[in-house]
């Protein structure tokens, strides 16, 4: 007799707990309230990432194609993975003396772990985070980028970018 | 006594057969291979095979400066990335005798608890899914998304935010950080009863977890099982209480303990820990003082010669960082005592004699993260 009672109570309990769970899911089925899923990629035009989103490392240039990178190599030293390579060249300045300037600031996105040390340690604030996050490419050589734009020069003075 | 408990006696009979669970099994949550010896449906013994995702983080750290190590510790237990960072930072700060600003301490505690919540969300989602309740995954992920949005706004990344540096934080948090945290706490307080209705009160879930994988307190101590898994057996091992760091000594909170030691009590510990995390957040979030976000540090950190140890409570247990320094800018040796490594090796004792379906429930209730085991 006892086992029969136990059997039927367990059935009753099972149905009750099922009902409790189904009530929650049913509530969201008929009235979803706010829609929590992102409609990506349909919302590409309106999608705005957070201010400091770590998409990739970029070097901001102003309207005169000038940047702040002096080619000191501190970012290269601080990078834990060797994602940054600095190639400098010597060109004569106004007085005719050879001066070391940046030739290529090479950034390997494929090796970057987004630790922010290069941006944090740059003494002239030449690097920043870019918000672009769609990095998928068909050829991995495309992940090696040159951050300073061709023909760009060093900005000597003025407010930081 | 404890030697007898941790001894694994392997007796194989002729009709037993060996099945590989993993390295790509959904319920092992990563590349963990369990060599399970089955006698019919019953587990005779199991041997965990680890090392599929070994990256040599400890060895790599020996050629990195103390600032560069931080981003590697993210990749150990990726679900408690912030606590891993904090462990190394605290070890370095204590070695140098640096007092970090109060603001940093409070923000670190908020981040600890937010990370713990995000981690427990994922565990709850995956645990339900392991036991056949697919719905839990959507509900857990919905709430986890809110925490990750707070992270993304302040640190720029959602999972592996190398936000701590020795001496403080990488940069200041977003101005809306406290407001959004408070909004999340209010939101999640309303949603937590749904978790109870969906899974905690479910009768099928009770049958799958109650009395399954019973771990007595002595076993937990012998294997060094810490965190919620250890506290489910009544082992009071919360580092936040035992050896407080940051501002945990100024905050009032309960250490959740359950005595039963089965999968269900380990589940309950985590559920109640979520509530406790909300309490801590509510208590702390208004108290964050204004001030600097980092202490004054030299550009190149050199630890004085000696040995340093620091432990923190991650979402899965006690993480210990042991640094041996010879006075250079790189550590001579760094060792991580990861919680998941200890938690994994109790699995044989728990699953022995049970059914193979229960092994999935036990594995889920231990909440293993495989990259933390291999490091």
Q: Does B210 touch chain A (CB under 8 A)?
A: no
In sequence order, the β-bridge partners of residue A107 are A84, A145
Cross-chain CB nearest to B203 (options A13, A23, A114): A13
| Tokens describing residue B213 | 């994988």
Interface test with A, best of B152, B154, B156, B297 (most A CBs within 10 A): B156
State phi, psi for B111 to the nearest 5 degrees: -65, -40
Predicted confidence at residue B347, as pLDDT, reads 87
Question: pLDDT tens-digit profile of A38-62?
Answer: 788 888 888 888 778 888 888 888 8
Q: Which residue of A has its CA nearest to B198?
A: A21
H or E element, residue B360 = helix B356-366
Q: What is the arithmetic mean of pLDDT over B183-202?
A: 87
In this predicted model, what pLDDT tens digit does every residue of A2-26 receive, in sequence order? 899 988 888 888 888 888 888 888 8
Average pLDDT over residues B244-250: 85
Distance from CA of A121 to the nearest CA of B (A): 9
Residue B84 confidence (pLDDT) above 80: yes
C-alpha distances out from residue B316 to B28, B211, B215, B307, Å: 16, 22, 16, 25
Chain A positions in Cβ-Cβ contact with residue B156 (cut-off 8 Å):
50, 52-54, 114, 116, 129
In chain A, residues with a C-beta closer than 8 Å to the C-beta of B202 are: 17-18, 20-21
Nearest to A50 among B152, B162, B170 (CB): B152
Structure token pair of residue B97: 């005798």
Consecutive H or E run containing B3: helix B2-6
pLDDT beyond 80 at A157: no
Shortest Cα–Cα distance, B291 to chain A (Å): 19
Identify any residues that bridge with B36 across adjacent strands, giving them in sequence order: B19, B46
Check A21 against B70: CB less than 8 A apart. Answer: no
Decide if A52 and B204 are in contact by the 8 Å CB cutoff: no
Return left, alpha or beta for A157; rule: phi > 0 is left, psi -120 to 50 is alpha, else beta: beta
B26, B71, B291, B292, B364 from B30: Cα distances, Å: 8, 21, 41, 40, 12
B245 membership: H or E segment, kind and range: none
Give the residue among A52, A115, A136 at the shortest CA–CA distance from B75. Answer: A115
3-state helix, strand, coil in chain B (%, to 5): 50, 15, 35
For the cut 80, the answer to whether the pLDDT of residue B257 exceeds it is yes
A70 φ, ψ to 5°? -95, -5
- Residue A142's CB: how many other CB atoms inside 10 A? 11
Q: Which spans in chain A are helix H? A: 2-30, 74-78, 117-121
Q: pLDDT at position B50, please?
A: 86
- The minimal CB distance from B142 to the residues A36, A53, A114 is found for A36
Stretch B323-339: mean pLDDT, rounded?
Answer: 89
Compute and round to an integer the Cα radius of gyration of chain B.
Answer: 21
Nearest CA in chain B to A22: B198
User: Would you give the end-to-end CA distance of chain B in angstroms?
Assistant: 30
Looking up tokens 């999935």 gives B360
CB-based contact, A26 to chain B, within 8 Å: no
Which of B152, B156, B197 has the CB atom closest to A24's CB atom?
B197
**The pLDDT of residue B322:** 92
CB A124 within 8 A of CB A155: no
**The pair of three-digit structure tokens given for residue B330, joined into one six-digit string:** 């790189």
What phi-psi label fits residue B35: left (phi over 0), alpha (psi between -120 and 50 degrees) or beta?
beta
Mean pLDDT over the full length of chain B: 86
> Rounded mean pLDDT of B209-238?
87
Per the CB < 8 Å rule, is B68 touching A117? Answer: yes
Mean pLDDT, range B45-59, rounded to an integer: 87
* DSSP letter string, A71-110: ---HHHHH-SS--EEEEEEEEE-TTS-EEEEEEEEEEEGG
The complex's ipTM works out to 0.81
Q: How far apart are CA B47 and CA B49, in angstroms?
A: 6
- Alpha carbon dihedral A39, A44, A46, A51, in 10-degree steps, equals 100
d(CA B22, CA B43) in angstroms, rounded, equals 16
- B 284-343 residues with CB below 8 A of A? 299
Average pLDDT over residues A76-92: 86
Confidence (pLDDT) at A159:
52
Q: Determine the CATH number of domain B2-374.
A: 1.10.645.10
* Separation of alpha carbons A73 and A127, rounded Å: 12
The alpha carbon of residue B331 and the mean position of all alpha carbons in its chain are separated, in whole angstroms, by 25
Residues A121, A55: Cα–Cα separation, whole Å: 18
Query: Given an 8 Å threshold on Cβ–Cβ distance, is B201 in contact with A24?
Result: no
Confidence of residue A158 (pLDDT cuts 50, 70, 90): low
Contacts of A36 in chain B (CB under 8 A): 142, 145
- Strongest mean pLDDT among B152-156, B308-312, B351-355: B308-312
pLDDT band at A138; cut points 50, 70, 90: very high
DSSP per residue, B87-134: HHHHHHHHHHT----HHHHHHHHHHHHHHHHHHHHHHHHHHHHHTT-T
Provide long-range contacts, Cβ within 8 A and 24+ apart, for A147-152. Answer: A147/A57, A147/A58, A147/A59, A147/A69, A147/A105, A147/A106, A147/A107, A148/A59, A148/A61, A148/A67, A148/A69, A148/A102, A148/A104, A148/A105, A149/A61, A149/A65, A149/A67, A151/A65, A152/A61, A152/A65, A152/A66, A152/A67
- Give the residue on A whose Cα is nearest the Cα of B192: A24
A125 touches B at CB < 8 Å: no
């Amino acid at each position: 007799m006892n086992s029969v009672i136990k059997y039927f109570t367990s059935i009753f309990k099972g149905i009750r707990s099922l009902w409790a769970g189904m009530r929650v899911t049913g509530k969201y089925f008929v009235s979803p309230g706010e829609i929590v899923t992102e409609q990506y990629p349909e919302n590409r035009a309106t999608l705005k990432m957070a201010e400091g989103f770590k998409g990739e490392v970029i070097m901001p240039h102003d309207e005169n194609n000038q940047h702040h990178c002096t080619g000191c190599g501190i970012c290269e030293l601080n990078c834990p993975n060797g994602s940054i390579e600095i190639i400098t060249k010597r060109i004569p300045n106004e007085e005719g003396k050879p001066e070391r300037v940046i030739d290529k600031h090479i950034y390997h996105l494929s090796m970057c772990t987004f630790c922010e040390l290069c941006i944090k340690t740059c003494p002239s604030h030449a690097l920043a985070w870019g918000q672009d996050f769609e990095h998928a490419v068909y050829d991995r050589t495309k992940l090696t980028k040159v951050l300073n734009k061709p023909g760009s020069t060093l900005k000597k003075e003025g407010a930081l970018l | 006594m404890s030697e007898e408990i941790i001894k694994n006696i392997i007796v194989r009979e002729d009709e037993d057969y060996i099945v590989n669970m993993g390295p790509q099994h959904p319920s092992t949550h990563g590349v963990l291979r369990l060599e399970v010896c089955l006698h019919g449906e019953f587990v005779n013994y199991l041997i965990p095979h680890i090392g599929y995702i070994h990256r040599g983080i400890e060895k790599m750290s020996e050629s990195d400066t103390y600032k560069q190590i931080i981003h590697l510790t993210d990749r150990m237990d990726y679900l408690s990335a912030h606590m891993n960072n904090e462990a190394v930072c605290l070890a370095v700060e204590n070695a140098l005798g640096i007092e970090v600003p109060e603001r940093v301490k409070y923000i670190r505690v908020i981040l600890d608890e937010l990370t713990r919540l995000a981690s427990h969300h994922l565990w709850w989602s995956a645990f339900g899914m392991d036991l056949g309740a697919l719905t839990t995954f959507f509900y857990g992920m919905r709430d986890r998304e809110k925490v990750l949005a707070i992270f993304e706004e302040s640190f720029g990344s959602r999972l592996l935010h190398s936000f701590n540096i020795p001496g403080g934080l990488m940069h200041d948090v977003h101005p809306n950080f406290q407001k959004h945290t408070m909004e999340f706490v209010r939101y999640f307080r309303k949603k937590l009863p749904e978790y109870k209705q969906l899974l905690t009160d479910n009768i099928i879930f009770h049958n799958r977890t109650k009395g399954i994988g019973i771990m007595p307190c002595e076993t937990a101590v012998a294997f060094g099982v810490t965190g919620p898994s250890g506290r489910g057996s009544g082992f009071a091992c919360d580092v936040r209480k035992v050896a407080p760091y940051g501002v945990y000594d100024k905050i009032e909170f309960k250490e959740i303990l359950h005595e039963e030691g089965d999968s269900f009590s380990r589940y309950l510990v985590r559920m109640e820990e979520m509530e406790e995390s909300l309490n801590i957040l509510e208590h702390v979030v208004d108290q964050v003082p204004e001030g600097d976000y980092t202490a004054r540090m030299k550009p190149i950190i050199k630890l004085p010669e000696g040995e340093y140890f620091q432990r923190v409570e991650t979402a899965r247990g006690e993480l210990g960082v042991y640094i041996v320094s010879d006075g250079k800018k790189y550590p001579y040796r760094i060792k991580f005592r990861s919680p998941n490594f200890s938690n994994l090796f109790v699995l044989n004792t728990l699953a022995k004699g049970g059914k193979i379906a229960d092994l999935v429930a036990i594995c889920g209730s231990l909440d293993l993260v495989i990259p933390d085991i291999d490091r």
